[in-house]
Amino acid sequence: MTALPGRPKGDSDTRARLIHAARCLFVAQPYTKVSTRLLASHAGTNAAMIRYYFVDKAGLFESMIKETFGPLLEQMRQILSQPGELKIAELFTRYYQVMGPHPDLPKLMLRSMLDPQSTENRLVARVFAEFMQGAIQLIGQSLQQPQHLQQGVDAQLARLSLIGLAVFPFIAPPQTLRSQGIELSPEFLTRLAQHNQRLVSQGIFKTASPES
């Protein structure tokens, strides 16, 4: 059953399988609870292969983060490079379009938030910095002009509200969501975008009343 030592025939996908295992396990458990042996056995290989491909456990983690978030950052850059002001309605829709296919990412972010001292999470924070900056910039586009806010609304608090509304559904425990009959399907995210847009547009922003 166990393969013999030595290079196996054919092409190797061991590296990819390690990355995949890392993505699954590091999302589900804290860094220290994921042992190299567990990673290896999940990938159907030997723990020494981590050294071979990534030098370190930390190296595997780093590669996983970069290869996972690279495409996402690219999407963010494209959205930011598009000229013109982003309307608050589009903001939520875009956000859920981008994040929908990656429901695990907020969890990784959250882990890095909860344990900011550890070196592996400082990496996550660095990789995410651009993403977060982009998000805040997008939100700022809609919020930093006071004329868009209802009278008496604090822009700072409004920003906090937007982030909370956007992020929470992804970090809430699936059990809690399920007990509310919620499943993070594309259809649900569409409804959620509409709901959030309605919530903030009627609660925070001036309603663009047809007769001025």
- Contacting residues toward a copy of itself, per CB under 8 A: 28-33, 107, 110-111, 113-118, 132, 150, 152-154, 156-161, 163-165, 167-169, 171-173, 175-177, 180-182, 191-192, 195-196, 198-204
Q: What is the 3-state secondary structure (H, E, C) of the chain?
A: CCCCCCCCCCCCCHHHHHHHHHHHHHHHCCHHHCCHHHHHHHCCCCCHHHHHHHCCHHHHHHHHHHHHHHHHHHHHHHHHHCCCCCCHHHHHHHHHHHHCCCCCHHHHHHHHHHCCCCHHHHHHHHHHHHHHHHHHHHHHHHHCCHHHECCCCCHHHHHHHHHHHHHHHHHCCHHHHHHCCCCCCHHHHHHHHHHHHHHHHHHCECCCCCCC
Q: Contact between 3 and DNA (CB under 7 A)?
A: yes
* Structure-token pair, residue 115: 């344990």
Q: Which residue of 27, 36, 75, 97 would you call a contact of DNA, by CB under 7 A? A: 36
Residues 113-172 that bind DNA (CB under 7 A): none
Q: Contact between 6 and DNA (CB under 7 A)?
A: yes
User: Which entry of a copy of itself, DNA, none binds 84, CB below 5 to 8 A by partner kind?
Assistant: none
User: Which entry of a copy of itself, DNA, none binds 180, CB below 5 to 8 A by partner kind?
Assistant: a copy of itself
Q: Left, alpha or beta for 44 (phi > 0: left; psi -120 to 50: alpha)?
A: left
Q: Which residue of 19, 25, 34, 166 would you call a contact of DNA, by CB under 7 A? A: 34
User: Which entry of DNA, a copy of itself, none binds 206, CB below 5 to 8 A by partner kind?
Assistant: none
Q: Contact between 42 and DNA (CB under 7 A)?
A: no
User: Which entry of a copy of itself, DNA, none binds 16, CB below 5 to 8 A by partner kind?
Assistant: none
Stretch that binds DNA, among 29-37, 84-92, 117-125, 202-210 (CB under 7 A): 29-37
Q: Contact between 5 and DNA (CB under 7 A)?
A: yes
Stretch that binds DNA, among 55-63, 127-135, 153-161, 164-172 (CB under 7 A): 55-63
Q: Which residue of 28, 29, 30, 35 would you call a contact of DNA, by CB under 7 A? A: 35
What length is written for the chain?
212
Report helix angle 155-171 to 88-99, nearest 10: 30
Residues of this chain that bind DNA (CB under 7 A): 2-10, 12, 14-15, 32, 34-38, 45-52, 55-58
